[in-house]
Amino acid sequence: DRIRAGMPVLGTCAGMIVLAARVEGGAPLFAVLDVTVRRNAYGRQVDSFEADVDVRGIDHPVRGVFIRAPRVEEVGADVEVLAEHEGHPVVLEQGNVVVASFHPELVGETALHEYVLRKV
């Protein structure tokens, strides 16, 4: 209820799955972001990797850790893609909801958190 009422929220990795309206092979939970996601789309644990991602609205590349990360397969008309990695959306925003396929916090990156805090 709070998210739908406008509380800013950041979902990273599994948080993206929890917030997505559609999950391939699964049931959505909060369904507050008009996207379809596929779980573990970047491979297994051993396929984990780090990458610098250029995010619109952030003045430096954001370092992200992709660990069994979800991939966005479909994006709704009201969803803004803020960043892509290898042609796939990895940071998205719809109103008060911001999501990332990766973990910025595992490398001490705070720019996405600060981006969301500016919405408060």
Greatest distance between any 2 Cα atoms in the chain = 39
Tokens matching residue 95 = 């109103």
Active site residue 113: no
* Full 3-state SS string of the chain: CCCCCCCCEEEECHHHHHHEEEECCECCCCCCEEEEEECCCCCCHHHCEEEEECCCCCCCCEEEEECCCCEEEEECCCCEEEEEECCEEEEEEECCEEEECCECHHHCCCHHHHHHHCCC
Selected catalytic residue, list 13, 85, 93, 109: 13
Selected catalytic residue, list 24, 80, 84, 105: 105
Selected catalytic residue, list 85, 93, 103, 109: 103
Q: Which residues are known to be catalytic?
A: 13, 103, 105
